[in-house]
Amino acid sequence: MHLSAALGPLLALLAGALSILAFAPFDIAPLILLGPAVLFGVLPNHISPRRAAWIGWAFGCGFFGAGVSWVWVSIHVYGGASFLLATLATLLFVMTLALLFAAQAWLYQRLFHPATARWLGFIAIWMGFEWLRSWFLTGFPWLLLGYAWLDTPFSPLAAVLGVWGLSLLTLCLAIGLYHAVRQRSPGALLLALGLPLISLLLPDTWTDERPDSQLKVALVQPNISQHDKWDGRLLSDILQQMIDLSEPYQQDHDLIIWPETAIPSLYYQAAPYTEPFFNQLDSYKTTLISGFPFMTRDSQQPEIPRFHNSLGIFSYGSGVYHKRRLVPFGEYVPLENQLRGLIEFFDLPMSEFSLPEHTELSLDVQGRTLAPLICYEIAYPELTRTSARQADMLLTVSNDAWFDDSLAAEQHLQIARMRALENGRWLLRGTNDGITALVAPDGGLVERLSRETAGVLSVDVPAMQGQTPYQTLGIWPVWLFSLALLIVARWPRAR
């Protein structure tokens, strides 16, 4: 019996799980080559597409099971589900995501079963499914292969081709080296080494600081428990804590940032506690930006209120941004009529948000333009790129307290750092319980606050000008290269 028939699924499962060690907080970057190489190796020419799908699904279960099982925390600890029910829900989530790898392996085997250049097809199909995962059913662009190379000499490629280019580098290196060794192919070796060598020759930065454009910013991290945050009886205490942390910075800072839903109520409910402080900030010409729930009326059905997860300017300026990518089950509930009330998890606070009909795409702060992104939105490369093109700096706010001390916060910060690198902009990251941080235009982590502590990060942030090649071109160069690989891989069969 062939190795792939006996051990293929098990090897794929283990390779998928071990690949997670390449991402934050472990950062063993070379391990990212393991997953694609092993999966390619256990999908030989002779097996059926159905068998390939089973092996691909096993890989996906290992990959997502090790990489995103932190959703268990939000379901069990904050969603009120029992240990068993939370475990079953997490397994269902992981196994459903793994179906994408099953479909990827099935399509690869279906299209390239007799092809001699099938290794090129493997690369092209993988890239297509990474892109598909970034938007299908609102998207889950987490753990894209390219994130693993953030703190390596290959990272400058992200400013040219985005995280997509680093994913392509991963696949060319892993599959090219595998094929070069197995088939003694100089062409495969050339493809494997091409992108890594190019990336080593690229400049570190494509953008410049605007003269005299620095903002002095205070990022407030309150570390408020999720069990307390949405308790209306504690509203005044929560807001007073935010004010107490901010007051030492009100006179000598240009901007104070509160994190996602730092105001945990509609604003009219919070106004009696915050207005005196906000008026004081106005007198000092200090801008304050905070996350908060925003209520509007549906244009088609005015009697129905709509709620948005928003980011607004509350002093010395004006502007509101509404979140454009909502987290399924966390911010809205699919099949709401059937699932509401079934278990406590489907009735979480913040789970009634809607997508906006219109929103501002930037916030103006004293002559500087900030591209705002709320929590999960920073994971979308193209969404961030379009917002950042006309912005001087990036701002993302989040509340990762839903996931306690799991891998989620470090992975989330790694993703945010990649967005700074892709767009050549300083990135401000304000969070409830960590990781609040300042990220440089090259993706470097300049300063950060510790997890699960209350504090304020005071930083000077320059506005940037110019654009990276990725900001100008987006994903198209990677798409065209992948399409070329697909054509070459199919050509021998067509001939």
In the predicted model, is pLDDT for residue 28 greater than 60?
yes
172 is catalytic: no
- Which of 61, 323, 331, 422 is flagged as catalytic? 323
Q: What is the pLDDT of residues 423-435, one digit of tens each?
A: 999 999 999 998 9
Handedness of CA 199, 202, 206, 211 (dihedral sign): positive
323 is catalytic: yes
The Cα–Cα gap between 385 and 124 comes to 23
154 touches 198 (CB < 8 A) = no
169 touches 156 (CB < 8 A) = no
**According to the model, what pLDDT value does residue 330 have?**
64
**According to the model, what pLDDT value does residue 323 have?**
93
Which position has the higher pLDDT, 450 or 346? 450
- Which of 130, 172, 375, 410 is flagged as catalytic? 375
pTM: predicted TM-score of the whole model, two decimal places: 0.93
In the predicted model, is pLDDT for residue 343 greater than 70?
no
Least confident of 70-84, 135-149, 337-351: 337-351
**According to the model, what pLDDT value does residue 117 have?**
85
What pLDDT band is residue 340 in, cutting at 50, 70 and 90?
very low
410 is catalytic: no
Q: What is the pLDDT of residues 76-124, one digit of tens each?
A: 887 778 899 999 999 999 999 999 999 999 999 999 877 678 999 999 9
In the predicted model, is pLDDT for residue 264 greater than 50?
yes
Give the rounded percent of residues in the chain with a pLDDT score beyond 90: 74
**According to the model, what pLDDT value does residue 115 have?**
67
**According to the model, what pLDDT value does residue 297 have?**
78
First to last CA, the chain: 32
In the predicted model, is pLDDT for residue 495 greater than 50?
no
Q: What is the pLDDT of residues 191-219, one digit of tens each?
A: 899 999 999 999 989 999 998 889 999 99
Which position has the higher pLDDT, 74 or 176? 176
The Cα–Cα gap between 1 and 483 comes to 35
Rg (CA), the chain: 24
**According to the model, what pLDDT value does residue 177 have?**
95
The Cα–Cα gap between 469 and 63 comes to 31
- Domains of the chain by range and CATH? 3-204+474-494 (no CATH), 209-467 (3.60.110.10)
Q: What is the pLDDT of residues 139-175, one digit of tens each?
A: 899 999 999 999 999 999 999 999 999 999 999 999 9
The Cα–Cα gap between 12 and 43 comes to 10
Beta bridge partners of 457: 219
Which residue shows structure tokens 């003269």? 211
DSSP strands (E only) in 223-298? 255-257, 287-297
- Which of 61, 229, 260, 410 is flagged as catalytic? 260
Q: What is the pLDDT of residues 303-328, one digit of tens each?
A: 778 889 999 999 999 999 999 988 77
**According to the model, what pLDDT value does residue 350 have?**
56
- Give the residue-averaged pLDDT of 274-284: 97
In the predicted model, is pLDDT for residue 461 greater than 90?
yes
**According to the model, what pLDDT value does residue 40 have?**
96
Least confident of 68-82, 331-345, 442-456: 331-345
The type of residue at 207 is T
**According to the model, what pLDDT value does residue 338 have?**
43
Tokens describing residue 149: 């190379």
**According to the model, what pLDDT value does residue 79 have?**
77
380 touches 350 (CB < 8 A) = no
3-state secondary structure of 55: helix
Q: What is the mean pLDDT of the chain?
A: 91
CA distances from 181 to 173, 186, 188, 434 (A): 12, 9, 9, 44
Which residue shows structure tokens 């997860």? 309
What pLDDT band is residue 293 in, cutting at 50, 70 and 90?
very high
β-strands 255-257, 215-221 pairing: parallel
In the predicted model, is pLDDT for residue 250 greater than 90?
yes
In the predicted model, is pLDDT for residue 444 greater than 70?
yes
Give the rounded percent of residues in the chain with a pLDDT score beyond 70: 93
- Angle subtended by helix axes 34-41 and 49-67, to nearest 10: 160
In the predicted model, is pLDDT for residue 345 greater than 60?
no
